C-alpha cells in the first residue's frame, strides 16, 4: 500500500502506539472483557484512566495543585461560552487573530461588554498584532495562541495585568507553557493530544464563582471541578486515546523534547518554501506557526495550484489544501506528524519545481 503522509488540520495524525492500544481496548478494556466504549465510567478501571490522564497533564505541563484539569465535551467552541459565563462580570478584552478568536469574542459580546484590543483582520490575519496595551479594567484578557487557518502563532507566554485566558486548541503540548501566567487554558484535543470529542480545561480554581449571574449547571465550571469531570458521562473513548497519546509523549522525553522536534520540522518546511521559487509563505515570518504551515503558489505560478494538488496527492500527501476561506496550501505538522512526512513533502515540492524550471 502506498505510504500516506497526513497533514490534515484536525482531527489529526495520532501516535501509532496510541491507535494500537485503542484498538486493543476496543476489544477488551483492562481485562474486563468489556470494550472501552461500553465500560461504565463509575468503575475502578475507568477511575484509574482518569487519574492517570490528569497526572500526565500535571506532570507534562508542570501544572500547580491550585489548578484543576477538566475533560469535557463540546469542543473549544463550547469553551468560548464557558469562558464568558464563568469569568465575564463587567468587561472583557480579546486579541483578534483569526476566525476562532472572532467566534470567541462573539460569544462574550452576547453576554456582556467585550471588545477587541487589537486585530490583524486588516491583512487577513497573517500576523500577530503588536504594540497594544492590555487594559487593566477588564475581568480577563483572552488570546488564541495558534491560528490554524492562517498559520500564525504566539510563541511565548505573555505577562498580563489581568487574568489571562488562552484557547490553546492547536498548540497545547507542542511547547513548554508557564501555566501560572494563565487563569485558564482550554482547547479541543484533536490537534495534539487526542481525537475529536474531548475538550481540556486547565483552570485556576480560586478564580471561579466570582460572577454574579446565574450560570446554568452544565456551563458552570465548578460543577465539573466538583464532579471530577464526571458530573455526567464523560467522552470515555476520546479520553482513553488522549491518555495513551500523553503516555507516548512522556516516553519521548516530554514537552521540551517535543518542542525541539517541532521546531526542526517547521524549519525544514519553511526553508523549502522560502527557497523554492514556485511557492511563498503567507504568514509574517516572525509569527509563523510551528503547527500549521500555510503557503501559496508564488506570483506567476498561480495557475499551477491544481496541478500541484494532484501531483502531491499522487505522492501520498493528504490534507494539504488550505482552509476554504483562504485557499492555498496548509501543512499541519502537529506533534505526531513525523519528520519523515515533512521531508517527503519537501521532496515533492522540489520534484515539482524541477518539472517547471
d(CA 66, CA 301): 54
Is residue 112 classed exposed, middle or buried when 0-12, 13-18 and 19+ CB atoms within 10 A define those classes?
Answer: middle
Would you state the cell numbers that stand for residue 62, as one nine-digit string? 508542570
Cβ atoms of 276 and 350 closer than 8 Å: yes
CB 269 within 8 A of CB 345: yes
Q: What is the DSSP letter of 193?
A: T
Nearest to 85 by CA among 105, 55, 107, 60: 107
- Cβ–Cβ < 8 Å for 349, 295: no
Nearest CA to 192 out of 126, 134, 258 is that of: 258
- Given 100, 139, 171, 287, which residue is catalytic? 100
The residue annotated as part of the active site, out of 46, 57, 139, 167, is 167
Residue 191 is a catalytic residue: yes
What CA dihedral angle connects 346, 348, 352 and 355, to 10 degrees?
120
Q: Active-site residue 167, yes or no?
A: yes
Residues 191, 220, 265, 287: which is the catalytic one?
191
Whole-angstrom CA distances from 13 to 7, 194, 341 are: 8, 9, 11
Cα 81 → chain centroid: 18
Q: What is the C-alpha radius of gyration for the chain, rounded to an integer number of angstroms?
A: 21
Among this protein's residues, is 157 annotated catalytic?
Answer: no
Q: Give the catalytic positions in this structure.
A: 100, 167, 191
Amino acid at each position: 500500500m502506498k505510504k500516506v503522509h497526513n497533514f490534515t488540520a484536525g482531527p489529526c495524525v495520532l501516535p501509532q502506539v496510541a491507535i494500537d492500544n485503542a484498538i486493543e481496548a476496543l476489544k477488551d478494556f483492562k481485562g474486563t472483557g468489556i470494550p472501552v466504549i461500553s465500560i461504565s465510567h463509575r468503575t475502578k478501571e475507568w477511575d484509574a484512566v482518569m487519574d492517570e490522564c490528569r497526572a500526565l497533564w500535571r506532570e507534562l505541563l508542570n501544572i500547580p495543585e491550585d489548578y484543576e484539569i477538566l475533560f469535557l465535551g463540546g469542543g473549544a467552541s463550547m469553551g468560548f461560552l464557558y469562558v464568558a459565563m464563568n469569568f465575564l462580570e463587567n468587561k472583557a478584552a480579546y486579541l483578534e487573530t483569526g476566525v476562532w478568536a472572532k467566534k470567541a469574542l462573539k460569544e462574550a459580546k452576547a453576554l456582556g461588554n467585550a471588545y477587541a484590543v487589537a486585530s490583524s483582520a486588516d491583512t487577513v490575519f497573517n500576523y500577530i498584532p503588536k504594540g497594544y496595551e492590555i487594559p487593566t479594567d477588564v475581568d480577563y484578557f483572552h488570546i488564541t495562541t495558534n491560528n490554524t487557518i492562517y498559520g500564525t502563532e504566539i510563541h511565548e507566554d505573555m505577562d498580563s495585568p489581568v487574568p489571562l485566558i488562552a484557547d490553546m486548541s492547536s498548540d497545547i503540548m507542542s511547547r513548554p507553557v508557564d501555566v501560572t501566567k494563565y487563569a485558564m487554558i482550554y482547547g479541543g484535543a484533536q490537534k495534539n493530544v487526542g481525537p475529536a470529542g474531548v475538550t481540556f480545561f486547565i483552570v485556576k480554581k480560586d478564580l471561579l464563582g466570582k460572577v454574579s449571574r446565574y450560570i446554568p449547571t452544565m456551563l458552570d465550571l465548578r460543577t465539573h471541578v466538583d464532579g471530577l469531570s464526571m458530573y455526567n458521562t464523560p467522552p470515555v473513548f476520546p479520553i482513553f486515546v488522549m491518555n495513551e497519546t500523553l503516555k507516548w509523549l512522556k516516553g519521548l522525553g516530554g514537552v521540551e523534547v517535543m518542542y525541539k522536534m517541532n521546531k526542526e520540522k517547521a524549519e525544514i518546511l519553511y526553508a523549502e518554501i522560502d527557497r523554492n521559487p514556485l511557492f511563498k509563505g503567507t504568514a509574517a515570518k516572525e509569527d509563523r506557526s510551528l503547527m500549521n504551515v500555510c503557503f501559496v503558489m508564488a506570483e506567476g505560478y498561480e495557475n499551477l495550484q491544481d496541478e500541484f494538488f494532484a501531483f502531491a496527492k499522487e505522492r501520498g500527501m493528504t490534507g494539504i489544501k488550505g482552509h476554504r476561506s483562504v485557499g492555498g496550501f496548509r501543512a499541519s505538522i502537529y506533534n505526531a506528524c513525523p519528520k519523515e512526512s515533512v521531508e517527503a513533502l519537501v521532496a515533492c515540492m522540489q520534484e515539482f519545481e524541477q518539472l517547471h524550471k
